[in-house]
Amino acid sequence: MRLQYPTNINIIRVPCTGKVDILHILRAFEKGADGVYAVGCMEGDCHYNTGNLRARKRVEQASKILDTVGVGGKRVQMRNLSSGEGPLFVKFAKEIVEQIKELGPNPLKQAKAGIQKEKNAA
Amino acid sequence: MIVADKKPIEEIVEEFGQVKNLLIAGCNECVTVCEAGGKKEVGILASALRMYFLNQGREVKIDEVTLERQCDHEYLEEIRNMVDQYDAVVSMACGVGIQFLAEEYPKLPVYPGVNTCFMGATEKRGLWVERCQGCGQCILAKTGAVCPITRCAKRLMNGPCGGSTRGKCEISQDTDCAWQLIIERLRMLGRLDEYEKLFPIKDWSTDRAGGPRKVVREDIQL
């Protein structure tokens, strides 16, 4: 199909979204990611039965934590599609990139830069 | 095992002053099983706190360690060489571990990272239930291995009260009537005649009412 999706996405492949842990999501933000989204199979279609359902729960938990620490819970989301839905993958990618752009960059990047600036000044 | 629940991050950070170096100490025992204070939860809290402090423009060094147990002096010794470099410790062990850690390192501020709840079991993933209150004088032999002290809201010793309806307790439709369970179990065991026997007055001096308790075993003390 040779569909184009936004180039600022870094795809991390996992055998199943059930592999995605809260820590993976949180570390991504610690390292400066502006947003993270997990794309799993359709609910009810998981090869391992509950992998994508577990992923959704973890995404929800990560979202709550990010809200608490002031990074913003909307920066992490879950999407579902079947493996044959390339155009939908592109649609999700564009949608999420658009939403994250509206939210602006990860506030931690700015905070880090601020601390570095203070250090340099001192 | 001892069951603990997650403590909201907002509550944990509220307690800190201007810390610069923080250690988060997990425990490999009960709190790991109930997914509240094991290695993974230590990692999540550490990550969340790093982001929280950074977002406030504060650079706080946060390290992680998970001990085999925090309710044993020998395992607490493992961190003796490193504790000096920290301003505070968040202990993710149960209340026992938190206190033991603080007793071991009296100069170090120790903060709780979990809410310790009760002695219980995992009924299914994500559901923990209370099964023992540690009354110090076990009567399970006479009650078909169902504890009325823990599972009856009134701690009744001789059959159900009038609030028992269709096998449920009057405090909540989700709570089984302990005496209903006891009677069913005794019937299954063919020991229903035991239900007819009256319990003597229970000696509550071994319960928490007598203040903090001790078990002294001179036979194994050196």
- Portion 48-87 of B in contact with A at CB < 8 A: 48-52, 54-57, 59
pLDDT band, very low/low/confident/very high, at A61 (cuts 50, 70, 90): very high
Q: Give percent of chain A above pLDDT 90.
A: 90
Tell me the pLDDT tens digit for each residue of A23-48. Answer: 999 999 999 999 999 999 999 999 99
Q: Above 90 in pLDDT, residue A94?
A: yes
For position B209, what pLDDT does the model report?
A: 81
Across the interface, whether the CB atoms of B40 and A70 are under 8 A apart is answered: no
Mutate to test the interface with B, among A25, A26, A108 (most CBs of B within 10 A): A26
Percent of chain B past pLDDT 70, that is, above it, reads 100
CB contacts of A30 in chain B (<8 Å) are 47, 50-51
Q: What is the pLDDT of residue B15?
A: 85
Which residues of chain A from 85 to 114 reach within 8 Å of chain B, CB to CB?
Answer: 107-108, 111-112, 114
Average pLDDT over residues B173-198: 95
Mean pLDDT, all residues of chain A: 95
How far A103 CA sits from the closest chain B CA (Å)?
16
pLDDT band, very low/low/confident/very high, at B215 (cuts 50, 70, 90):
very high
Q: What is the predicted pLDDT for the residue at B220?
A: 95
Over pLDDT 90: what percentage of chain B? 92
Chain A residues in contact with B10 by the CB 8 A cut-off are 68
pLDDT of residue A118: 87
Give the tens place of pLDDT for each residue, A74-91.
Answer: 999 999 999 899 999 999
Residues B39-79 pLDDT 10s: 999 999 999 999 999 999 999 999 999 999 999 999 999 99
Give the model's confidence band at B210: pLDDT under 50 very low, under 70 low, under 90 confident, else very high.
confident
How high is the pLDDT of residue A78?
97
Q: State how beta strands A36-40 and A76-80 pair.
A: parallel
- The DSSP bridge pattern shows strands B88-91 and B21-27 to be parallel
pTM of the model: 0.93
End-to-end CA distance of chain A: 55
Among A24-28, A113-117, B39-43, B165-169, the minimum mean pLDDT is found in A113-117
Model pLDDT for residues B93-123, shown as the tens digit of each residue: 999 999 999 999 999 999 999 999 999 999 9
Residue B17 predicted with pLDDT over 90: no
* Contact between residue B185 and residue B151 where contact means Cβ atoms under 8 Å apart: no
| Helix (H) or strand (E) run with residue A67 in it | helix A51-69
What residue in A sits closest to B60 (Cα-Cα)?
A115
Identity at B42, one-letter amino acid code: V
Distance CA B16, CA B109 (A): 9
Q: What percent of chain A is predicted at pLDDT more than 70?
A: 100
Handedness of CA A65, A50, B39, A13 (dihedral sign): negative
Q: What is the ipTM of this complex?
A: 0.93
Q: What is the 3-state secondary structure (H, E, C) of chain B?
A: CEEEEECCHHHHHHCCCCCCEEEEEEECCHHHHCCCCCHHHHHHHHHHHHHHHHHCCCCCEEEEEEECCCCCHHHHHHHCCCHHHCCEEEECCCHHHHHHHHHHCCCCCEEECEEEEEEEEEEECCEEEEEECCCCCCCHHHCCCCCHHHHCCCCCCCCCCCCCECCEECCEEEEECHHHHHHHHHHHHCCHHHHHCCCCCCCHHHCHHHCCCCCCCCCCCC
